[in-house]
Amino acid sequence: MADRYLSFTGTAPGRFLTRRLGLPQPAALRRWSPRSPALDGGLLHLTAGPSALDLAPVLARTGPAGGDERPAAVVLDATGVRDVDSLAGVHAALHPVVRSVAESGRVLVLGAPLDPADHHQSAAQQALEGFTRSLGKEIGRGRTVNLLRLGDAPAAESTLRFLLSPRSAYVSGQVIHVGTGPVAGPGDWDRPLAGRTALVTGAARGIGEAVAETLARDGAQVVVLDVPAAEADARRVAERLGGSALALDISAADAGERIAAALPGGLDVLVHNAGITRDRRLVNMPAERWSSVLEVNLGSVLRTTDALLARGTLRAGGRIVATASIAGLAGNAGQTNYGAGKAGIVGLVHSLAPRALADHGITVNAVAPGFIETRMTAAIPLFIREAGRRMNSLAQGGLPADVAETTAWLAHPASGAVNGQVVRVCGQSLLGA
């Protein structure tokens, strides 16, 4: 369903009226397209204190390269901030330039990992999180603000490419950690998944369909999995993408074994997207509504992942991306079952990520969507739907493509240093933020 309020605020009368009434003034977001793959404008690289990182080479490859006097992106290297006094450098660097950032531009703060042996450094670096999230809530005009903690510039290239591009239009107020170590870039950054096989569950429609489309765009051979009742839709999606369809109930006890049998050549990317809702307040919720949601949204993810890892179906260097939700991070009335299942995904990621990387060379991450414009949210009553759209720093709902682009970044072969992360795709929702 079209966001008519967003369209209205893009007109001169709409801007005037909403400004006079103090209403939200969302800006149309700049998203990736083949004709517009990069932000318009240049990149401004600033520092707050000394830095041990040589960022110039990787920023030259990843950031917008235009020469506009209004920067499309500002990167502030604050990895050298180690005490309260050096935080003044953050203000000194960004205060003069924040107004000049282009509409739908990017502000990216680079921080260092917290040093457990130095509580002054940890306090100063933690302060960057509060600063980043606060700036994201005030900067407006479709701009995003994120904090990237890193210890190795080359390992962050895929992440920098994502955060400094239109692909990250609905990701703001996030803190992302990138580890260290060698990371091999793809032969072709435009088709990084070429030669790889990806399976997306719940991919016959909605967010899952968008994820399948984006992975196929990036070169993957996509397997579109959905329940037997949606087999016709799954086949249509698969045929359009040059992939294949697999009809099965992901909550079945033998789902993992059946997937492994259908993929004798192995799998490189596993996207757990399938999910259901059975909303009702706990006092009115029958046991069946509780158990069915937990089975699909969490139980099936655990069983399938275990089976595919045990059988070696997921190849070394593979990627697991699961779908959480802000309902699992912040809670939501009427969704105790859904919130429990999605919070369980976060626990899965945090526990499995270090072991899967050590034992199999596989990363495990999650996306946590907020209000995304789908057929499901279009059925929400008007006033609740409008509240969901406006209660974030970008004052609008996201699109399935926003979740898909974030998933594709986590699935990227050069994202091997991104592990154990839960990235909210919510426009910096005010829920739990």
Tell how far CA 393 is from the center of its chain: 16
199 sits in which H/E element: strand 197-201
Question: Collapsing DSSP states into helix, strand and coil, what is residue 318?
Answer: strand
Q: How far apart are the first and last CA of the chain?
A: 26
* Rounded Cα gap, residues 11 and 33, in angstroms: 24
In the residue annotation, 5 being an active-site residue is answered as no
Q: What is the 8-class DSSP label of residue 319?
A: E
Question: For the purposes of burial, counting CB atoms within 10 Å of the CB of 102, is it exposed (0-12), middle (13-18) or buried (19 or more)?
Answer: buried
Report the residue count for the chain.
Answer: 433
* Rounded Cα gap, residues 360 and 419, in angstroms: 13
Are 322 and 345 contacting, i.e. CB atoms less than 8 angstroms apart?
yes
Are 148 and 106 contacting, i.e. CB atoms less than 8 angstroms apart?
no
Which candidate in 131, 338, 371, 409 is catalytic? Answer: 338
* Rounded Cα gap, residues 278 and 275, in angstroms: 10
Residues labelled as active-site residues:
338
